Amino acid sequence: MKNKALIAAVAFMMAFTCASCGKKEDDSSKADSKAKETPAETVVTTDEETVETTAEETVETTDQETTENALGTTADINDFIDTKEIDPPIWKVTDPESGNSMYLLGTIHVLPADASDYPADLMDIYNSCDSIAVEFDVTALQSDINAQMEYVSGMTYSDGTTVKDHISEETYNKAKDYFTKIGAYNEMLDQYRAGYWINQLTVVMLMRLENLELSGTDSYFVAKAKEDGKEVINIEDISMQTEALTAYTDEYADYSINDLIDDIDDIDGFAADFGELFDKWAKGDGEISSETEEDIAEIPEDLLDDHDAYNKALLDDRNQYMADKASEYIKSGKNCLFMVGAAHYAGENGVDNLLEKMGFTVEKIG
C-alpha cells in the first residue's frame, strides 16, 4: 500500500508544474539547464517574515544509514530506486486527415540527482521540433512580478477568511505545531489556502529525500529550448494550476493535512513508494496512477465524493483541456514537442486515450 503522503506527492511530481522547480550544478546534458533554475513557490518562514527560499537544494549523503537535515530524518533516494537510466513514456499522435503528427512526452517534476541523460531518441525528437509545449513555464513565473502576484492571489484566501476558518482547530494546531517545529511557520501562512498547506507538507517530505532535486523533465526542456531559440508554449495559465492545487473541499483538506502529518516521519516508506513511482516512469510506463483501490478504501465514506471532485479538478478536467490543446496544435501543423506530467496519461481519461477518442492515431513509442 502506498504511503498516504505519496498521493499528494504524485500531484506535485507528475501533475503540476507550478508546484516544483529546482537546480542541479552539473555539466551533464540533463543538468546544464537545470543549474539555472530556482524553486517556483516553496514558501518557508523566518521568525519575522515570510520569504521564498532555495531550501530544496540537494542534501549531500553521508556514510551513516540514518541522517537528518533541518526538516528531520532523511532517506537517500538512491537506496530506493532500481534504475538511474531514464527512458520516459513517449507517444506519437497523427491526424489521419492531414497527416500532421506530434509527439507527447510524460514528464516528472522531480528527479534523482544522478539520473542519466535523456535518451537519444527523445533528444532527436526535441531537436526536430521548433517549439515545446509545457503545462506552464515556471522560469517565466520567477521573473514576472505580475505572474507572481497572480500566483499568490490564487493561493491565498480573498474573502477575508484564513485557513483557520476552513479546517478544524485540531488540524490547524497540529499543522501549525509541525511547521513551527521545523522553523517554517509565521502568521502570514494563515492567509494561504489549505491546499497550499498540503503542498508545503509535500515539499517537506521531498526535501527530506537526499540526492533528489525539485526540478525535472519540463524544467530541463524549458531551459534548453530557450538556449536553443525555440518557442516555449504554455498549455495552461497560472489560474488553472492554482485552482487545481487548491481544489480541496474544507473537509477533504482537513482529512488530507491530518494524514500527511501522521505519515510525516515515515520517510523510508515515502522514499520506497517514490522510488517505485520513479522506476515506472524511468522505464516508460504510461499508466502511472496516484492511488490504488486499497488507498481509496481507506478514505472515509463521507469524503469519497470530495475525493472524486478533487481528482476531477486535478486530472480529468485538465486532461480534457490538454487533449483539446494538443488537437489544436496538431491540426494547425505546429511542429511541437508536447509535454505534461505523466499522471495525465493514466487511465481511460488520459490525454493519449482522449486524443484517440477524437479520431487521432496514437502510438506509444517509448
Please state the rounded mean pLDDT for residues 236-261. 94
Does residue 121 belong to any structural domain of this protein?
yes
Does residue 73 belong to any structural domain of this protein?
no
Residues 6+ apart with CB under 8 A from 4: 259, 260, 262, 263, 295, 298
Does residue 19 belong to any structural domain of this protein?
no
Domain range for residue 297? 87-364
> What is the reported pLDDT for 6?
56
- How many domains is the chain built from? 1
Q: Do the beta carbons of residue 337 and residue 132 sit within 8 Å?
A: yes
Phi, psi dihedral angles at 120 (to 5 degrees): -60, -35
Cα distances (angstroms) measured from residue 57 to each of 161, 213, 215, 269: 33, 7, 10, 22
Better-predicted residue by pLDDT, 27 or 363 = 363
Please state the rounded mean pLDDT for residues 352-366. 96
Stated pTM of the model: 0.84
Residues 6+ apart with CB under 8 A from 268: 75
> What is the reported pLDDT for 29?
41
Residues 6+ apart with CB under 8 A from 131: 225, 230, 231, 232, 233, 334, 335, 336, 337
Q: Distance (Å, rounded) from C-alpha 243 to C-alpha 302?
A: 23
pLDDT at 33 over 70: no
Q: Do the beta carbons of residue 225 and residue 231 sit within 8 Å?
A: yes
Instruction: Quote the cell numbers at residue 302.
Output: 463521507
Does residue 80 belong to any structural domain of this protein?
no
> What is the reported pLDDT for 336?
96
> What is the reported pLDDT for 298?
86
Better-predicted residue by pLDDT, 67 or 257 = 257
Does residue 82 belong to any structural domain of this protein?
no
Does residue 50 belong to any structural domain of this protein?
no
> What is the reported pLDDT for 64?
41
Better-predicted residue by pLDDT, 172 or 45 = 172
The amino acid sitting at 254 is D
> What is the reported pLDDT for 66?
57
Q: Do the beta carbons of residue 219 and residue 39 sit within 8 Å?
A: no
Does residue 13 belong to any structural domain of this protein?
no
Residue 52: left (phi > 0), alpha (psi -120 to 50), or beta?
Answer: beta
The amino acid sitting at 158 is S
pLDDT at 45 over 80: no
Instruction: Quote the cell numbers at residue 39.
Output: 524553486
Q: What is the CA radius of gyration of the chain?
A: 20
Does residue 126 belong to any structural domain of this protein?
yes
pLDDT at 42 over 50: no
Signed CA dihedral, 348, 349, 350, 353: sign only: positive
